[in-house]
Amino acid sequence: MNDLRRELSSASANPHAHLRTDLTQQPQDPPPSGGSFLWLGGNPHDDQWIASANFPTPNDGEESIALCWSGTFAANLFDGDIRNWTKSGHAALEKWLDETLPKLCDIQPKPGNGIRRLGLVAHHTHLLSDVAGQMRLWHNRKDQGLATILYPSGLIAPSMMKDIDDHLIRSISNLGPRCSLCILEDIAPPVGSQDEVHFQRAPWGTGILPHALIERLLGEHLPASTPVIISTDPPFFC
């Protein structure tokens, strides 16, 4: 990881990248290029979830992104629900985006202000759960203010481990050139449970992901101007 970390943190080689390891502060300190990231926690599909538009307006030429999950029908955030992957789940996500993007996003800001976007962080148990869904939204919603987020660990379900290289190649090669942000986090097997719904989340570099492969793929497909958040310590965004 040292080579990748050194490359991404070098202002001369990569003036827009900024490694953020503390997601408990909202908003994050702006990267050298300006702008900020704000995490909106919880389940957006919950009736109690409120999308706050009160995050800092970036300066002219800068961009701020509000980050959140795509949501789930399940009572608990990562339990999964079969309805998430059906037509009703697709319709629920599209309806939510129709309502939320105009509230949070500003892609034609007033003079002196920067752009504000919404970034959905995909997870294999949620409404937005795979590369195909992210590519569809990139194609249909990028001009409405939706930012694509590359979160490789979130797209990996336990059943995918036998073909994990193929899944990572597909996700990073497709989403890397199109994403506005990359979040690196690791996964570890469930502890003391036979639950196969999802892995335990772990600091980057401490889990079971093929780190060398991911770093090579990012070097090949992630533009040098794309910011990267490396999660090295809990608590993670949730």
Cβ count within 10 A of residue 112: 9
**Confidence (pLDDT) at 236:** 67
> Angle 117-45-232 (CA atoms, 0-180°, nearest 5)?
60
Q: Beta strand 200-202 with 186-188: parallel, antiparallel or unpaired?
A: antiparallel
**Confidence (pLDDT) at 100:** 92
DSSP 8-state symbol, 87: H
**Confidence (pLDDT) at 33:** 43
Residues of the chain with pLDDT under 50: 1-34
Are the CB atoms for 120 and 70 separated by under 8 Å?
Answer: yes
- Exposed/middle/buried for 150, CB within 10 Å: 0-12, 13-18, 19+? buried
What is the amino acid identity at position 123?
A: H
**Confidence (pLDDT) at 216:** 92
Helix ranges restricted to H, 27-110: 87-104
**Confidence (pLDDT) at 23:** 35
Are the CB atoms for 7 and 14 separated by under 8 Å?
Answer: yes
Give the CATH fold of the 2-230 domain.
TIM Barrel (3.20.20)
Domain locations along the chain: 2-230
Cα(162)–Cα(207) distance, rounded to whole angstroms?
16
